Amino acid sequence: MSYLENHFDKRLDPTLLVPGAKSVISLIYNYYPEKDLVDTNPESFKIAKYAYGEDYHKVVKDKLKIFLDRIQEAVGSVEGRAFVDSAPVHERAWAKKSGLGWIGKNSLLLNRSMGSFFFLAELIVDLELEYDGPIKDYCGSCTACMDACPTDAIAEPYVVDGSKCISYFTIELKEEIPASVKGKFENWIFGCDICQDVCPWNSFSKPHSEPRFVPPDNLQKMTQNDWNEITEEVFKTLFKNSPVKRTKFEGFKRNIAFLSSKD
């Protein structure tokens, strides 16, 4: 995942992204679903909750543009840019610094009232503001995320080996999935929510109110057999505006075949 190393200077210095920048406004946007698709079809394959609906990049970016417009209406001319996981912005670091949460042992930002099922986003603006500060770490002695990870991707507290993560294997990896992790995916074919599902702080998660994150009816009805027989046409229809398109049809079929094969 070498892309994380690219433009490292921009990840540290927002003025390289927005000339004259003075503030980073960090935001979180809930995507916790009212109904988990796993509950609908317990024996079916699993898709990470963030990918149930429309691609979050576009949904959240649209919200940020409205927010920036309202800032400009309120205070006058403000130069700024909106970012949603699509540019070299050190999102978790800024969110932590702003007091939105702390970095958990699974490396995700955790919030005491919302858990971790939310997207991070930023507005970088040339406006001086009053700033919030960081909060303390509330993970304590809990190791639920570490204990539950079937591929041992959380090597030690706060250290995640991305190359062992189910999300990496099912989304980022372009080659064949190694045989060494056979039988460890627990039916995940796109992403993985295990370390979030077991986190005690996610017991406080509340369903989102974003219509664009609601999964289409066809997705809710998919059985394991349906997944095994999925065609490229169905894939394109089902995931027309979805983050799942990132795997492309060939990658998605590879994931399904990896889980379905008996070898």
CA dist 114 → 110, 161, 183, 238 (Å) = 8, 25, 32, 29
User: Residue 127 corresponds to which amino acid?
Assistant: L
Neighbours of 203 (CB within 10 A): 7
Closest CA to 220 of 30, 13, 39: 39
Is 217 in the active site?
no
Task: Compute the C-alpha angle 198/199/200, nearest 5°.
Answer: 110
Residue with token string 């919200």: 63
Question: Is the Cβ–Cβ distance between 194 and 187 less than 8 Å?
Answer: no
Which residue out of 36, 39, 85, 193 is catalytically annotated? 85
Distinct helix (H) and strand (E) counts, the chain: 11, 9
What are the catalytic residues? 85
